[in-house]
Structure 1
Amino acid sequence: MKLIAATLAAAWATTAHALPSLPVAARQDSLTGSCPTSCDAKALGTALSKCAKVYYPGSSEFTRATTRWSVLATPQPQVVVIPCTEQDVAETYVGGGVKVKFANKKNVPFLAYNTAHGALTTLGAMDSGVEIFLENLSSVQVSADGKTATIGGGTMSKKVTDTLWAAGKQTVTGTCECVSYMGPALGGGHGWLQGHHGLISDQWVSLRVVLADGSIKTINRDSDLWWAMQGAGHNFGIVTSATVNIYDIVHSDWAVETLIFSGEKVEEVYAAVNEHLLKDGTQPVDIINWSYWLNNPDADPNNPIILFWILQEGVSVVDPIYSKPFYDIGPIVGTPTAGDYRDLAGWTGIDLAAGPCQKAGTINPRFPLYVEKYNITAQREAYDLFASKVSGTSPFSGSLFLFEGYSLQGVKAIDDKSTAYAFRGDNLLTAPLITYAPGGDALNAEAEALGNELRNIIHRGSGAANKAVYVNYAYGNENPKEWYGSDSWRQDKLKALKTKYDPKGKFSFYAPIA
């Protein structure tokens, strides 16, 4: 167990320091920092409710609100607004009706923030403007009949999980505790429970959305916009709350087998995943497999190791029918652990205390790709390249290669044409994560080349004609066909809805449609 704990610590060694806790102004009218010459503090201040806050550069609050998890090609807001109500969201960029019309009148861009884990380089196109930080729109309210919950647009995933758990309920959320509920959901959103219920966005009953013209609408499946919000929602509005389906907790028990393999076992490990877990896309609904490639000198001083998990719902020990084939391969170490659903993030190194939840000034681009199964030859080729570029004193030594194998029944049960999320037929999500300290344009180009080539190796091995890219992990050099599906009808539908709901392209910084 000590070796496994050390491995997780090593995985995130370059992101080990959290930002200090910073004070927050009590009232909006105590503006902090220096208002840039292009802003109008009085106009913006009078448009917002008394509990909203406005921060400018030079204040600690502004720094806290604008700091991102990955610092490559980051947006550069000049003003931060922390809305207290959904009306504040509208006022920030439409602004007080005929009286102010703040952002539109000032002709400055705006961008909604949740936890700032999105790392797309397209965000860097915002080189000035207004940040709308949704952290105060944080709430989880269970309905009287216990069938739905209404979740505020800025609510963290962990708060959703913990609040519902206390009520004996669950829903699908993102796997990492420190990301928002809504951020992943707008791109479809994978989660531990998707085998039962589908993607995060598949749980939606209705949304409250502030549209590009500043109007606040409740939309549901009767709206033509509903289709686009489920997978391409970043392009159409700011969601201030979502009413979602929730479910009784059926199984409180979960178990995990955590295994470490040396890199020489790549072929055997991923062949075993294909044969004993994935089973041509029919992985049992109670089983999830995950793995990372990463450096841990205590386990292997020369090459990255394979850190592999088998997670099973409803048991205290993973069934040997799933775990034995992997123990037969010969791991360096294997450890069984029992707990409940709330332990999954900690087991896999993505809880609040882990490195991915810290903002330490590093660059963290990902290069995701969906595949139907593992091509064993491609896995070896990718491993050898990854090992050659991240071992020893490499500036990329803190990097990972992620392989996520969720159960799929709930995702595939939903009509592929019914949502903008386009990749329900794919079974596995792969993503090199190239982590490094800022070092200039040449180092950035080297990291991009490495991430692209690792993804290209996996893509060539898949035999697929087009790249299928998970938009929530995307790097930014992909295109709309790769983010939202290559079918011409999908692209045409998205463009038509964009023209209808956001003709001036107000929402165009996160994986833009055109």
Structure 2
Amino acid sequence: MDHGRPTRRALLATGLALATAGCTDGGAQSPPTPGGDPGGGPSSPPTTPGWSDLEVSGGLSRPGQAGYDPSTLLYNPRFSPAPQAVAHCRTADDVAACVRHAGRTGTGLRLRAGGHSYGGWSAGDGLVADLAGMDAVELAADGRTARIGAGARLVDVYTALGAQGVAIGAGSCPTVGFSGLTLGGGVGVLARSFGLTCDQVRSIDVVTADGTSRTVDAGNDPDLFWALRGGGGGIAAVTSWTVAVRSAPRVTVFFLRWGLERGADVLAAWQRWAPTAPRELWSTCKLLRNPADGDRVQVSGAWTGTAALDLSGLLAELPPPAANTHRTLGYLDAMLYEAGCSGLDAQACTARALDGAHRQPFAATSSMLGTELPQAGLDAALAAVRELRAPAGLVEAGMSFDALGGAVADVAADATAFPWRTALATVQHTATWSGPADPGPFDAVVAGTRDALTPWTGTAAYVNYADAGQPDRAAACWGGNRGRLQRVAAAADPDGVFAFPGGVRA
């Protein structure tokens, strides 16, 4: 076993290359439209915005002014937003001012947390309320809950909580916004033991479409509370979250790799083992094409149990892997490891995640694996990855199967807006590339791998892996919860102040 710090090649091989590893998970409250915004926004006739009337404590940036840099708004550089103004919000009152301005003038409004929206919906051509200044993380005096600002990034949340010996289950990409992740449900590396991130929410501070600030929970506006846990945004502006925390566990992280030719065998063994393993064990299985580092199938994950990590249920069915590593870490160090930031503090981790080498353009879509793939489905998955037509500039492409089950399945399908509680896994289809290129061929790559599974997965999808080109997206993302979610959205925001192309009413 190799217990040392992974090399750059090992980081890529373990799925920590940020885009393909799910580093684009969530990150936008009003979570694709390069250089524009084709829809969404208030239905009332717009008036000419009077920007001098909008005052926020962090200031307002307009084209040509200091602080106006649209290239920093979105993680995915395939998009080129050009908003009329960026409001740098620091308080709930700032957010309320932006909401009232949008409602009064008809200006399209986007709320940006981490900027990781797959569809580029964290920014548009109207007003962007940038919540980055609202990133405080405060542990309650009793140590049972924490209040997390709407602009906090995951690395900041993990650092603040881990330093006080408590933990929350969330995603792996360090710069994803906690808000966007949670609004979509929140699949992460501790999901099977902690539940979805939205399952850990106890109350939410919001600004509603009328510009009013209030707190919602199970007893105060339960419909809105329900919708904001898995509904994907576009209903109200979250300003902070109160979440349950628990004692931070020790975490054993592991990584296994085989050649891609073993893909069907590894996926077959993994899908029988992973969803029914002890709930302290979360894992992901990836089928990957990588021209530089080699094609491969890999299984990696995290174990939070008190006994020693035991992978025999998986390995007994397979040939020895070409790589087999594990290491046991404290909670914060494990989260930094999963983020590809071992040995770095939060500031350095953020800078690394946002540098040019990691902010590669990407295309993505998703499926939900409801039941085990039969042999025909396993063969189709492998063939779709091995035989995909790699466009020029491709860095990596493939499928990532992330295990559900455990605590995720403890919650009823209609208890929150996230509907896929009994699924075995989410499936993320991704393609990353370097340099300027037409996104079309890469969109075709991910659509192709998704379509290869459709005979067995159907059209169900995970809202945080947003795909603007997916037919009947609302049904795909919310299934049987769509009707209630649409009714809540219409009641909470009748004029569409928060509407955007990826919302439930789009």
Q: Tell me, yes or no, whether TM beats 0.5.
A: yes
What's 2:478 paired with? 485
What's 2:95 paired with? 89
What's 1:495 paired with? 486
CA deviations over 1:373-405 (Å, ceiling 9, x no partner): 3444333323333233365x7332333432212
* 1:292 corresponds to 2:298: no
What's 1:157 paired with? 154
Contact 2:290 2:395 in 1 (8 A): no
What's 1:212 paired with? 209
* 1:432 corresponds to 2:429: yes
What's 1:337 paired with? 327
What's 1:79 paired with? 85
Query: How far apart in 2 are the matches of 1:217 and 1:66?
Result: 30
Which residue of 147, 164, 177 maps to 2:144? 147
Q: Secondary structure at the match of 1:329?
A: coil
Query: How far apart in 2 are the matches of 1:358 and 1:365?
Result: 19
Question: How many pairs are equivalent?
Answer: 463
Which residue of 62, 73, 76 maps to 1:67? 73
Shift in Å at residue 171 of structure 1? 1.7
What's 2:395 paired with? 397
CA deviations over 1:388-430 (Å, ceiling 9, x no partner): 3365x73323334322124x22211112211111110111111
Shift in Å at residue 152 of structure 1? 0.8
CA deviations over 1:98-128 (Å, ceiling 9, x no partner): xxxx33333211100011111116x39x752
Contact 1:113 1:132 in 2 (8 A): yes
Contact 1:80 1:132 in 2 (8 A): yes
Q: 1:356 to 1:426 in 2, by over 3 A?
A: farther
Query: How far apart in 2 are the matches of 1:346 and 1:144?
Result: 26
Contact 1:85 1:137 in 2 (8 A): yes
Give 2:85's aligned amino acid: V
Q: 1:412 to 1:357 in 2, by over 3 A?
A: farther
What's 2:261 paired with? 264
Q: Secondary structure at the match of 2:233?
A: helix
Query: How far apart in 2 are the matches of 1:211 and 1:77?
Result: 22
Contact 1:256 1:318 in 2 (8 A): no
Of the structure 1 ranges 366-375 and 467-476, higher mean CA displacement relative to structure 2 is found in 366-375
Q: 1:54 to 1:376 in 2, by over 3 A?
A: farther
Give the 5 Å matches for 1:347-362: 347-348=337-338, 350-351=340-341, 352=349, 357-358=354-355, 362=360
Give the 5 Å matches for 1:451-470: 451-462=446-457, 464=458, 467-470=459-462
By percentage of residues, which structure has more helix? Answer: 1
* 1:58 corresponds to 2:67: no
Query: How far apart in 1 are the matches of 2:277 and 2:194?
Result: 15
Q: 1:429 to 1:340 in 2, by over 3 A?
A: same
Q: 1:376 to 1:508 in 2, by over 3 A?
A: farther
> What percent identity do the matched residue pairs reach?
23
What's 2:111 paired with? 112
Of the structure 1 ranges 313-322 and 214-223, higher mean CA displacement relative to structure 2 is found in 313-322
Q: Secondary structure at the match of 2:499?
A: coil
Give 2:283's aligned amino acid: N
* 1:445 corresponds to 2:432: no
Q: 1:506 to 1:299 in 2, by over 3 A?
A: closer
Q: 1:262 to 1:496 in 2, by over 3 A?
A: same
Which residue of 268, 274, 282 maps to 2:276? 282
Shift in Å at residue 299 of structure 1? 6.0
Query: How far apart in 1 are the matches of 2:425 and 2:19?
Result: 26
Q: 1:390 to 1:449 in 2, by over 3 A?
A: closer
Q: 1:138 to 1:353 in 2, by over 3 A?
A: closer
* 1:42 corresponds to 2:52: yes
Shift in Å at residue 148 of structure 1? 1.2
Contact 1:263 1:306 in 2 (8 A): yes
Q: 1:3 to 1:337 in 2, by over 3 A?
A: closer
Q: 1:221 to 1:427 in 2, by over 3 A?
A: same
Q: CA RMSD in A?
A: 3.0
Give 2:228's aligned amino acid: M
Contact 2:232 2:464 in 1 (8 A): no
Query: How far apart in 1 are the matches of 2:61 and 2:71?
Result: 9
Query: How far apart in 2 are the matches of 1:484 and 1:147?
Result: 32
Q: 1:476 to 1:74 in 2, by over 3 A?
A: farther
Query: How far apart in 2 are the matches of 1:292 and 1:509?
Result: 32
Query: How far apart in 2 are the matches of 1:3 and 1:245?
Result: 32
Contact 1:231 1:484 in 2 (8 A): no
Query: How far apart in 2 are the matches of 1:229 and 1:93?
Result: 17
Query: How far apart in 2 are the matches of 1:485 and 1:324?
Result: 35
Question: TM-score normalized by structure 2?
Answer: 0.82
Query: How far apart in 2 are the matches of 1:155 and 1:127?
Result: 21
Contact 1:258 1:308 in 2 (8 A): yes
Of the structure 1 ranges 290-299 and 164-173, higher mean CA displacement relative to structure 2 is found in 290-299
User: Tell me, which stretches of 5 or more residues in structure 1 are unaligned?
Assistant: 17-36, 95-101
Q: 1:246 to 1:61 in 2, by over 3 A?
A: same
CA deviations over 1:281-339 (Å, ceiling 9, x no partner): 42211111113333456764xxx11232143223585225346427x413222223222
Contact 1:235 1:510 in 2 (8 A): no
Q: 1:128 to 1:257 in 2, by over 3 A?
A: closer
Give 2:424's aligned amino acid: N
Q: 1:413 to 1:55 in 2, by over 3 A?
A: same
Q: 1:311 to 1:498 in 2, by over 3 A?
A: closer
Query: How far apart in 2 are the matches of 1:313 and 1:59?
Result: 49
User: Tell me, which stretches of 5 or more residues in structure 2 are unaligned?
Assistant: 21-46, 342-348
CA deviations over 1:10-63 (Å, ceiling 9, x no partner): 7788989xxxxxxxxxxxxxxxxxxxx96544322xx333xx221122356321
Shift in Å at residue 136 of structure 1? 0.8
What's 1:368 paired with? 366
Shift in Å at residue 65 of structure 1? 6.9
Q: 1:348 to 1:243 in 2, by over 3 A?
A: closer
CA deviations over 1:213-237 (Å, ceiling 9, x no partner): 1111111112121111111151211
Query: How far apart in 1 are the matches of 2:382 and 2:141?
Result: 51
